[in-house]
Structure 1
Amino acid sequence: MPPTSNPTLRQRRLGAELRKLRERAGLTATGAAELLGVNQARISMVETGRTPISADRLRSMARLYDCSDDRLVDALAAMTGRRVRGWWEEYREHLPAALVDLAELEHHAVGVRAALILHIPALLQTTDHARALFQQVAPPIRQYEVEHRLTFRMKRQSILHREKPLSYSATIHEAALRMGFGGSVVVRGQLKHLLDMSELQHVTIKVVPFGADRFPSTGQSFDYVEGPIPQLDTVQLDTHHGGCGFLDAEAQLGKYRSVLDHMETCALSPDESRTFIQTLIRDM
């Protein structure tokens, strides 16, 4: 398979996991290459995601690295082969690569747990609300860029409406619900949309009210994207410049799981959260 100069997040993650397996086996890239009968450059290209590999080759590498975790090997094997040309690929020339990688990450995920402090979750935003946000970006972006980002965001939401929808849980601070983006009509429509989405069996929305006696948060919004196995989970952080940051080290994953767990314990129940949102709408 030909190499690529711009590997996706998914391809880079596969390579990184193979590098971890090699290092745990105590092998250098040169040593692994000799045992596999390839040159060292080939190993490096695979581990940086620039050269795709087949599932059979991956299993051979896993055996060489003495990996006995069958679930991990199976999950990695499912990530092999050529890049999937999903709908998101058409946006690579128009949007930052990290945003496109996020859509691919969500497409392959089995679940997402989101923590929001000042914004409504992107996957739960209405078109009007999202447009209002993009029109207030600083520095301003051109109208055609607004429309690119808007259609992209709406297409991302398809994972909540497909035949086998993503399991989605959002813990949202009251501050995000009270933001006036777009004016009262847009805000009311957004809050009603949250109520509608909360009725879906695979969507859970919990609100952390101002009156909560504790709030163990990093102060930053993030998504915890669940892979087919915990080792392949990913944390996606919103950055101040509007892009995405991705974390996947074991210690980092543990930290953000803990933050989510604590946030959920100090939030209202799903039913209480629905009542809370209905009260906000009634008082507008």
Structure 2
Amino acid sequence: MAPRSHATARQVRLGIELRRLREAAGLKAREVAELLNSTSAQISQVELGLSGASEERVRRLAAHYTCTDEALINALVAMATDRTRGWWEEYRGVLPPVFLDTAEAEHHAMFLREVVITHVPGLLQTADYARAVYTYMMPGLPESELNPRVEHRMRRRGVVEGDTPTPYETIIHEFALRVRVADRQTSLAQLRAILHQIEQGHVTVRVIPTDQDGFAGAEASMMYINGPVPRLDTALRDSPTGTAFIDAEPQLKQLRTLLRKVEMASLDPVASRDFIHRLAKEL
């Protein structure tokens, strides 16, 4: 099988986990290749996400690596054998790959948790709000590139809507709710949209008031994605150089601690809903 021309973040993650199992077993790629009647290059391509792996190969590798975690093995098999072509693939070559990788990660999540400080989270944004953000952050972006970005963001919302929404909790700083990325009407419509999502019962929103003591989490923005097993959790964090997909357990542990600290600084869901109602009335 010819190597892939590109690997998605999910395919790369499968390769990373297989490599981690190999290294934990103290085996070199050459040794594994000999066991499987393969080559070191082929093993490397699998571990880089550039080549696929069948269910049989994943299970044989797990056996060679003496992995006995059946839940993890089954999750890796699911990652390796999933041939679903998600809606995000329609944007390949149109939008940067990170847009597609983010949508794919959200689609496969068991639970989504997010912290946002400066903007309303993308999964709750209205089209007008999203358009205003993209227009401001990327001045001069032609409509031919702006429109797919807004459309993609709106389609991402499907993960927290519809018949089988993924459980989603977000902590939003008051600043993000008050700042007018466009005009008064856009802000009011955005607040009402958040309240509507809350009323549907599958979105939990917590607010951090600006007068909250002891909150120094200005850099706390993140999305934490729970995988089918804790080993496959992922965190997404934006930086000046782009979005980073974090999967190393020491870093994930730090981010889980940060999430707990931020949640302690936030209002409970009922008080947060009332808070947003008051902000909407002020507009």
TM-score > 0.5, shorter chain as reference = yes
CA-atom RMSD in angstroms? 1.3
Deviation readout 1:19-54 (Å, 9 max, x if unpaired) = 000000000000111112111111001000111011
Structure 1 window deviating more from structure 2 (146-155 vs 195-204): it is: 195-204
Deviation readout 1:238-282 (Å, 9 max, x if unpaired) = 2336x4211110011111111111111110010100111111111
Q: 1:201 Cα shift? A: 2.3
Partner of 1:247: 246
Q: 1:82 Cα shift? A: 6.2
Alpha-carbon distance in structure 1 between the residues aligned to 2:274 and 2:37 = 64
Partner of 1:190: 190
Query: How many pairs does the alignment contain?
Result: 283
| 3-state DSSP of counterpart to 1:80 | helix
1:279 aligned partner, one-letter code:
R
Alpha-carbon distance in structure 2 between the residues aligned to 1:85 and 1:194 = 30
- The reply to whether residue 108 of structure 1 matches residue 108 of structure 2 is yes
Partner of 2:279: 280
| 3-state DSSP of counterpart to 1:237 | strand
| Structure 2 gap ranges (5+) | none
- The reply to whether residue 204 of structure 1 matches residue 201 of structure 2 is no
Alpha-carbon distance in structure 2 between the residues aligned to 1:72 and 1:163 = 28
In 1, are the aligned partners of 2:21 and 2:62 still within 8 Å (CA)? yes
Alpha-carbon distance in structure 2 between the residues aligned to 1:140 and 1:83 = 37
Q: 1:122 Cα shift? A: 0.1
| 3-state DSSP of counterpart to 1:136 | helix
In 2, are the aligned partners of 1:120 and 1:177 still within 8 Å (CA)? yes
How has the CA–CA distance of structure 1 residues 178 and 218 changed in structure 2, closer, same or farther, with 3 Å as cutoff? closer
Alpha-carbon distance in structure 2 between the residues aligned to 1:49 and 1:29 = 15
Partner of 1:11: 11
How has the CA–CA distance of structure 1 residues 269 and 54 changed in structure 2, closer, same or farther, with 3 Å as cutoff? same
Q: How does 1:81-96 map to 2 (within 5 A)?
A: 81=81, 83-96=83-96
Alpha-carbon distance in structure 2 between the residues aligned to 1:135 and 1:190 = 17
In 1, are the aligned partners of 2:115 and 2:221 still within 8 Å (CA)? yes
How has the CA–CA distance of structure 1 residues 231 and 199 changed in structure 2, closer, same or farther, with 3 Å as cutoff? same
TM-score by length of 1: 0.96
Q: How does 1:103-182 map to 2 (within 5 A)?
A: 103-182=103-182
Alpha-carbon distance in structure 2 between the residues aligned to 1:274 and 1:43 = 51
Alpha-carbon distance in structure 1 between the residues aligned to 2:196 and 2:240 = 30
Q: How does 1:62-73 map to 2 (within 5 A)?
A: 62-73=62-73
In 2, are the aligned partners of 1:116 and 1:172 still within 8 Å (CA)? yes
In 1, are the aligned partners of 2:220 and 2:258 still within 8 Å (CA)? no
Q: 1:220 Cα shift? A: 4.3
Partner of 2:267: 268
Q: 1:218 Cα shift? A: 5.6
In 2, are the aligned partners of 1:216 and 1:259 still within 8 Å (CA)? no
1:282 aligned partner, one-letter code:
K
Q: 1:216 Cα shift? A: 4.7
Partner of 1:74: 74
Q: 1:83 Cα shift? A: 4.6
Alpha-carbon distance in structure 2 between the residues aligned to 1:216 and 1:237 = 17
Alpha-carbon distance in structure 1 between the residues aligned to 2:261 and 2:102 = 25
Q: 1:143 Cα shift? A: 1.4
Provide the identity percentage: 43
Q: 1:138 Cα shift? A: 3.6
Partner of 1:223: 223
Alpha-carbon distance in structure 1 between the residues aligned to 2:211 and 2:70 = 47
How has the CA–CA distance of structure 1 residues 77 and 125 changed in structure 2, closer, same or farther, with 3 Å as cutoff? same
How has the CA–CA distance of structure 1 residues 214 and 140 changed in structure 2, closer, same or farther, with 3 Å as cutoff? farther
Deviation readout 1:183-234 (Å, 9 max, x if unpaired) = 1000000001111111222210000001111225261421001111111111
TM-score by length of 2: 0.96
Structure 1 window deviating more from structure 2 (137-146 vs 260-269): it is: 137-146
| 3-state DSSP of counterpart to 1:135 | helix
Alpha-carbon distance in structure 2 between the residues aligned to 1:237 and 1:57 = 33
Structure 1 window deviating more from structure 2 (74-83 vs 264-273): it is: 74-83
